[in-house]
């Protein structure tokens, strides 16, 4: 645009707002108080547009497959396996989206690994495996019998209010009831709102955690954690989920093949 056209647009904007945006001097132009108020969001908005445009330009011609899952499953099980996707599909870029909210699978991702009841109306659901929970702890903690739990610190993941009425919720109350252990406060100990933090506290020897055997599989295999008691609780299910409108999408089919090979092979 020419300087004259820019000036015309600015004056038109000032007339619309009913206030001056610039103080015009002989050799300089300065923003008024109103101009200072308006400039930052407009600047940020246009810079946001530019970043988005550049991202789209960089992605043009690239094959990108986006897989979403919970933060804990992403960190503990998917991220360590990400390299195998590139080995299998070197012409594709794997984008991993960690989110505890169910994202729009028509817009935001090509497929998801979801954790729950397995009921996802309107979506294609392919079961992967059932999760189980059991008490695990550092081998440095001496737990030779269930009675030793009376003197142990229980580590909890806070499942929220819904867990109180859900018999599948893997909480200490349910495990203690099924194991026949009484006289222990099932709510006492250390409680975390982030499942990964509960795992980290248990690995650090801060107590005995009722944890997902899926999320601590590597620690159990290496001996960093041990499972002192055989009893485990069956919990929710992991499923591969995608939109029926994405059933023929190459990215979705690649993710389907890769996830199935990793967790259901």
Domains by residue range for the chain, with CATH: 3-59 (1.10.10.10), 63-129+238-263 (3.40.190.10), 132-235 (3.40.190.10)
Residue 153, H or E segment = none
pLDDT value of position 146: 86
Of all residues in the chain, what percent are helix, strand and coil, respectively (each to 5)?
40, 25, 35
Angle at 259 between CA 254 and CA 264, to 5 degrees: 130
What are phi and psi for residue 176, nearest 5 degrees?
A: -65, -40
Query: Tokens 């619309």 identify what position?
Result: 16
For residue 199, give Cα distances in angstroms to 112, 116, 261: 23, 20, 26
Residue 69, H or E segment = strand 63-69
Work out the mean pLDDT of the chain and round it to a whole number.
88
Does 53 have pLDDT greater than 70? no
Query: Tokens 């992967």 identify what position?
Result: 128
DSSP, collapsed to helix, strand or coil, labels residue 16 as: helix
Contact 13, 21 (CB under 8 A): yes
d(CA 67, CA 256): 10
pTM of this prediction exceeds 0.85: no
Q: How many other CB atoms are found less than 10 A from the CB of residue 85?
A: 22
Residue 96, H or E segment = strand 92-98
- Which residue would you say has higher pLDDT here, 47 or 208? 208
pLDDT value of position 182: 86
Confidence band (pLDDT; 50, 70, 90) for 162? low
**Model confidence pLDDT, tens digit, residues 172-185:** 999 999 988 888 99
């Amino acid at each position: 645009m020419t300087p004259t056209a820019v000036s015309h647009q600015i004056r038109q904007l000032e007339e619309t707002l009913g206030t001056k945006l610039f103080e015009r001097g002989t050799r300089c132009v300065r923003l008024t108080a109103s101009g200072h108020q308006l400039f930052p969001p407009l600047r940020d908005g246009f810079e946001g547009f530019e970043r988005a445009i550049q991202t789209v330009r960089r992605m043009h011609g690239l094959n990108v497959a986006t897989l979403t899952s919970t933060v804990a499953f992403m960190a503990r099980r998917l991220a360590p396996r990400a390299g195998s996707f590139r080995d299998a599909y070197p012409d594709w870029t794997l984008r991993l989206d960690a989110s505890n909210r169910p994202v729009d699978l028509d817009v935001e991702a090509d497929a998801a690994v979801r954790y729950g009841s397995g009921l996802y109306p309107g979506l294609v659901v392919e079961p992967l495996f059932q999760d189980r929970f059991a008490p695990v702890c550092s081998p440095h903690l001496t737990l030779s019998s269930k009675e030793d739990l009376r003197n142990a610190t229980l580590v909890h993941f806070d499942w929220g209010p819904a867990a109180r009425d859900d018999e599948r919720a893997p909480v200490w109350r349910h495990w203690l009831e099924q194991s026949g252990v009484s006289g222990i406060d099932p709510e006492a100990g250390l409680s975390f709102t982030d499942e990964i933090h509960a795992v980290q506290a248990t690995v650090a020897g801060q107590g005995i955690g009722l944890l997902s055997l899926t999320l601590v599989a590597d620690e159990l295999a290496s001996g960093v954690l041990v499972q002192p008691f055989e009893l485990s609780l069956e919990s929710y299910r992991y499923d591969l989920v995608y939109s029926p409108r994405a059933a023929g999408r190459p990215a979705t089919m690649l993710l389907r093949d890769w996830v199935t090979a990793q967790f259901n092979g």
